[in-house]
Amino acid sequence: MKTIFQLFETGAEDVFIGRIQFNGQIGCPLPLAYVVVLICQQGSAEWEVKFQAYRIEKNDFLVLAEDSIALIKGMSNNFSCNCYLMSRPIAAEIADGLPSSLFAYLNRSPFLASKTHFLSYLAAWEQQAVMIQAHCTTHKRAMIINHVRNFFLWICETAGDINTSVNSDFGRSEAICWKFWELISAHHKRQRAVAFYARHLHVTPYYLSQLTRKFFNDSPKTLIDRQVVLEIKKQLAQPGKSVQKIAEDLHFADASYLGKYFKRHTGVGLTEYRKQRN
């Protein structure tokens, strides 16, 4: 069984799935992957996340982001968790298609107590996650993406009215950020300019940049480009679709410009990426 520090010493994968313990880490801020899901398997612990106190017991879970300040204040001797560490690239693919209100909800409420109706789903989900990690090869990454996405969709189904709880708790600045995220989802196939989104939000590009760096730890342009790259990857996965057609669908000037854009953001060309995927 590894500690969370050892996971980062051995080199991060896109996803790590396994049991961890927290020996010698009381009072120390934990190093985190881009997204971390911790599901308590036994024992209990007193956590502090973003300066809020939480007590986690068997089947409770935490969803943490890389900018979360998370530490353990105290724990039982047998405390251990199943851990799901996700890098930025795979987390972005998992997030594609999930409601923005969910991210806002988890940002404010990273702790979820596993209620009775959630337990059977949670047990089955964890068992399947282990099987995918251990036995799948050819389609492993796609299966993990879909599997983790289903986990978050289940949270949406069981956490009550997320939209209401989120909207009632937002300040104006944070509300602008989440509205920006929704606009990206709706318009990224046609619009890649920050000015377009700032205009629809009735703010300046500079002010929007300040907000997204504060709440998302990224610039507006980075967030837009990340979604566009994901869309290109999805369309490249369609075997019969030409690069020229993808360029037209995403409103690039031509296939050459699309290729340069994709390589600038991913480090690989369109043809090379398609071959790797196949």
CATH code of the domain containing 196 = 1.10.10.60
Number of domains in the chain: 2
Q: Are residues 143 and 14 in the same domain?
A: yes
The pLDDT tens digits for 166-187 are 554 557 887 888 889 889 888 9
Structure tokens belonging to residue 68: 């979360």
SS3 36: strand
Q: Are residues 39 and 144 in the same domain?
A: yes
- The residue range of the domain holding 141 is 2-162
Same domain, 120 and 230: no
Last residue of one domain, picked from the residues 131, 162, 193: 162
Cβ burial of 249 (10 Å; 0-12, 13-18, 19+) is middle
Q: Which of 162, 188, 205 represents a domain boundary (last residue)?
A: 162
Taking 70 as the threshold, does the pLDDT of residue 157 lie above it? yes
Residue 233 and residue 150 share a domain: no
Q: Of 261, 239, 240, 241, whose CA–CA distance to 249 is shortest?
A: 241
List the CATH number of the domain containing 76.
2.60.120.280
pTM for this model (two decimals): 0.69
- pLDDT score, position 208: 94
Asked whether residue 127 falls in the same domain as residue 8, the answer is yes
Q: Are 212 and 260 contained in the same domain?
A: yes
- Are 125 and 46 in a shared domain? yes
Q: In this predicted model, which residue has the larger pLDDT, 152 or 167?
A: 152
Mean of per-residue pLDDT scores for the chain = 85
41/216: higher pLDDT? 41
- Side chain identity at residue 168, one-letter code: S
- For residues 155 and 270, membership in a common domain is answered with no
Going by their DSSP bridges, the two strands 15-21 and 2-3 should be labelled as: parallel
Domain boundary among 162, 189, 210: 162
Q: How many helices (H) and strands (E) does the chain have?
A: 13, 9
3 in Cβ contact with 20 (< 8 Å): yes
137 and 44 both lie in a single domain = yes
List Cβ neighbours of 170 (8 Å cut-off, separation of 6 or more): 104, 178
